[in-house]
Amino acid sequence: MPVRVDEVRNVVVHETADPEVIVVEYEIAGTATTTGRQAAAAFIGVLRARGGKVAHWREYQNTLAIAEALGRLP
């Protein structure tokens, strides 16, 4: 993908009732190398760890903000 990541910010880790699961919120700021536009998009990750390793990672992202930064919206 033609994006340079410039910063990961606003990281918040949420503990859950399940000790194997965490929820993390963060924002990635970057520059679309094809357009030079700078933008940021919010992400949420839901992770399950077992034996000291990540066993599952599901990520939700603001795809509209990403498409806009890449100049893919009308």
- Domain assignment present for residue 67? The answer is no
- Domain assignment present for residue 7? The answer is yes
Secondary structure class of 34 (helix, strand, coil):
coil
- Domain assignment present for residue 5? The answer is yes
pTM of this structure: 0.76
* pLDDT tens digit sequence for 7-41: 999 999 998 999 999 999 999 999 888 888 888 88
Number of domains in the chain: 1
Residues counted in the chain: 74
The C-alpha atoms of residue 27 and residue 62 are separated, in whole angstroms, by 10
Q: Which residues of 2-70 form beta strands (DSSP E)?
A: 3-15, 21-32, 38-50, 53-61
- Domain assignment present for residue 61? The answer is no
Secondary structure element (H or E) that encloses residue 64, with its range = helix 63-69
Provide the residue range defining the domain that includes 13: 1-29+41-48
> Which amino acid is located at 66 in the chain?
I
